[in-house]
Structure 1
Amino acid sequence: MTPRVLVILTSFGYIESAKRVTGWYLPEFAHPYEVLSGKGVEIVTASPKGGVAPLDPASVEQFKSDPTSISFLENKSALWENTEKLSSFLGHAGEFDALFYPGGYGPMYDLATDSESIALIKEFVAADKPVAAVCHGPIVFTNVTLPDGKLLLAGKNVTGFSNAEEEGVGLLEHLPFLLEDKMNEIGANYKITEKIYDPFVVVENDGKLITGQNPASSAGVGEELAKAIGL
């Protein structure tokens, strides 16, 4: 059987207070896609609202010299322009091998607290399927509870976009919270690379919980996810 990974993209595309277009971040989907599709994985995409999942134009500009990102942008637009509604996948974790969330600022505003996304993550975890996210994507795990009432990330080694990296972007005052702070707040063991912006991937739960710190970690997350599903 062809392995299948469900990718959840944000539906949030504009930060009103900053007057800034946002969304999901190009290399954070492009690089894992390249890794996974290269190993024969079928990628299925969904978002809270369905339809077009907004791509952050800043990520297109910043990665215009990255061949993987540009090839993905030019050839795979159907993946984010025709997403299914996230809700339509509830109850279907058995049809997929893993769940993956690219980052970008969008997830901080919708997927972090989206009840259907949280329910979907719970289903994959309960089915012992790998869940992964990169950069701002790991925010989606912070409100997920286990059947015993404990938070999924409590006591777990995880990473995500750091406060130090956030300061370089200049959106601090417009964010609902900081990912690093939120992870520490809920009792996760937040880990960070020695040199910010370097690739850094943390694997927990015997390969079933995979987080990457920043855009440079995207391919590494893809590789770990492939490993987790036996490829």
Structure 2
Amino acid sequence: MARILMVLSGVDHWTLTDGSKHPSGYWAEEFVVPHRIFGEAGFTVDVAAPTGGKPAADPVSLRPEVAGPEADEFAVYIDAAAEVLADPLALPDVDTARYDAIFLPGGHGPMEDLAHDPDLGRILVEADAAGKIIAPVCHGPAALLSANLPGGHWLFAGRALTVFTDEEERLNGTADRAPWLVETVLAARGAVVRSAKAWEAHVVVDGNLYSGQNPASSKPLAERLVAELTGH
């Protein structure tokens, strides 16, 4: 069966424009739902993070008023995965050839570390060259910014994708404090951003690049990967 590398942010904060550190990390739903779907499909899932990083769920993503009635279920799932999350595979040690797909959950954490991680950049370049699926969701596409080629060319320039939109960031109440907006920066680097209405589940596929717009897109994105990797 397929083997998935799930790359999580290794920080528990997001640095805002005023220099303060806002509690953050990975978005719970975007880890739990795909991880569960992949497991139910019989896939092996390895969790990885930057060297020394210990993935932490954004506390807001575990609040019922934000995450909905499944928030408690997400917390239970994360607790059950505590051993895996406490000792993730370090990105420098990743052998890209072992995996069929790279999955990148969001949360604001990836903007803090994954977007600038050279080891992740190496993994993404290798995965793309081998035609392996690369699948970021929500703020996860920020991690794609790490994939730079010689001469400063960005690997994903000209590719179609979706991402947590500037509108959604404004509706979330975080746009004014964000040091940069993911949609704006990806578009400036040359991505072809295809967005749906705010908070609507939306998946875009361009070759081996599969992307989801927001937390609600986690489930359909994971299901698309399962369908592709199982041939169903």
**TM-score relative to the length of structure 2:** 0.89
Following superposition, the deviation at residue 171 of structure 1 comes to 2.4
Match of 2:69 in 1: 65
Is 1:11 aligned to 2:10, yes or no?
Answer: yes
Contact 2:101 2:132 (8 Å CA) reproduced: yes
In structure 2, the CA distance between the partners of 1:50 and 1:38, relative to structure 1 (3 Å rule), is: farther
Following superposition, the deviation at residue 63 of structure 1 comes to 2.5
**Aligned pairs (5 A) from 1:38-53:** 38-50=40-52, 52-53=54-55
**Structure 1 stretches lacking a partner, 5+ long:** none
Contact 1:10 1:53 (8 Å CA) reproduced: yes
Match of 2:198 in 1: 196
**Structure 2 stretches lacking a partner, 5+ long:** none
Task: Provide the C-alpha distance between the structure 1 equivalents of 2:51 and 2:68, rounded to a whole number of angstroms.
Answer: 28
Task: Provide the C-alpha distance between the structure 1 equivalents of 2:52 and 2:223, rounded to a whole number of angstroms.
Answer: 27
Runs of 4+ displaced beyond 6 Å: none
Following superposition, the deviation at residue 183 of structure 1 comes to 1.5
Match of 2:121 in 1: 118
The CA RMSD measured in Å over matched residues stands at 2.0
Contact 1:105 1:136 (8 Å CA) reproduced: yes
Pick one of 174, 190, 193 that aligns with 2:177: 174
Is 1:185 aligned to 2:193, yes or no?
Answer: no
Contact 2:31 2:105 (8 Å CA) reproduced: yes
In structure 2, the CA distance between the partners of 1:124 and 1:148, relative to structure 1 (3 Å rule), is: farther
Following superposition, the deviation at residue 228 of structure 1 comes to 2.9
1:114-145 CA-partner distances (Å, limit 9, x unpaired): 11111111111112111111000011113424
Letter in 1 for 2:37: V
Letter in 2 for 1:30: V
Match of 1:223 in 2: 223
Contact 1:52 1:82 (8 Å CA) reproduced: yes
Letter in 1 for 2:168: E
Contact 2:5 2:48 (8 Å CA) reproduced: yes
SS at match of 1:37: helix
SS at match of 2:230: coil
Task: Provide the C-alpha distance between the structure 2 equivalents of 1:40 and 1:73, rounded to a whole number of angstroms.
Answer: 19
**TM-score relative to the length of structure 1:** 0.89
Task: Provide the C-alpha distance between the structure 2 equivalents of 1:57 and 1:81, rounded to a whole number of angstroms.
Answer: 17
Task: Provide the C-alpha distance between the structure 1 equivalents of 2:210 and 2:52, rounded to a whole number of angstroms.
Answer: 25
Task: Provide the C-alpha distance between the structure 2 equivalents of 1:228 and 1:86, rounded to a whole number of angstroms.
Answer: 25
Instruction: Tell me how many residue pairs correspond in the alignment.
Output: 225
1:85-121 CA-partner distances (Å, limit 9, x unpaired): 11111xx111111111100000001101111111111
Contact 1:163 1:179 (8 Å CA) reproduced: yes
Pick one of 2, 12, 34 that aligns with 1:32: 34
In structure 2, the CA distance between the partners of 1:197 and 1:64, relative to structure 1 (3 Å rule), is: closer
